[in-house]
Amino acid sequence: MTSRLNPYVNFRGQARAAVAFYQAALGGTVQLDTFAGFGMPVEDAAEKDWVMHAQLDTPAGFTLMVSDTPSSMPLSPGGNVSISLSGDADAELSGYWNKLSDGATILAPLEVAPWGDKFGMLTDRFGITWLVNIAVAKA
């Protein structure tokens, strides 16, 4: 039996675009279901084709889930959560950084940090903060 912990990010009408962006940045496959597809009621008929649940599974083993929050429910975009990508695969992690940077606000450029690793932080075009830490071999 396996357990896992993965981020679940909520949007308001942007989940479909967000998961497509993350798929382009991270690779992988997306499974997507709408409120209408599950026969779930929404107060605003314009929201019936919004994403009730989408899951991105990447070749690197990442799982990211997203959904749209109907306008009848409260939403705090970005909330108090950030998504962190880390490891020692410099080319792979730098590639994710470059793709996530498209349309982002760079909070800290991807460069050598005081602790010796490459580190960068950005808020993407959907308001989600990403941290990338690339471990550098210590001498």
Q: Do domains 8-68 and 82-134 have the same CATH topology?
A: yes
pLDDT at position 75, please?
86
Joined together, the tokens standing for residue 90 give: 């410099």
Write the CA distances from 77 to 14, 20, 31, 37, 136, integer angstroms.
11, 18, 22, 25, 33
In order of 29, 40, 43, 75, the CA distances from 59 in angstroms are 9, 31, 37, 30
Beta strands in 6-137 (DSSP E): 8-11, 29-34, 51-57, 63-68, 82-87, 105-112, 118-123, 129-134
Structural fold of domain 8-68: 2,3-Dihydroxybiphenyl 1,2-Dioxygenase; domain 1 (3.10.180)
- Could you tell me if residue 26 is left (phi over 0), alpha (psi between -120 and 50 degrees) or otherwise beta? alpha
Which one, of 60, 81, 86, lies nearest residue 10 by Cα? 81
Q: For residue 120, what are the β-bridge partners?
A: 132
Mean pLDDT, the chain, rounded, equals 92
Kindly tell me if the per-residue pLDDT of 51 is higher than 80: yes
Whether residue 47 contacts residue 13, with contact meaning beta carbons closer than 8 Å, is answered with yes
* 22: amino acid identity, one letter: Y
42: pLDDT confidence band, cut at 50, 70 and 90? confident
User: Per-residue pLDDT averaged across 103-132, rounded?
Assistant: 95
Question: Average pLDDT, stretch 56-79?
Answer: 90
The pLDDT assigned to 100 comes to 98
Kindly indicate whether the domain formed by 82-134 is annotated with CATH number 3.10.180.10. yes
Domain boundaries, the chain: 8-68, 82-134
Burial class (CB in 10 A: 0-12, 13-18, 19+), 50: buried
3, pLDDT greater than 70: no
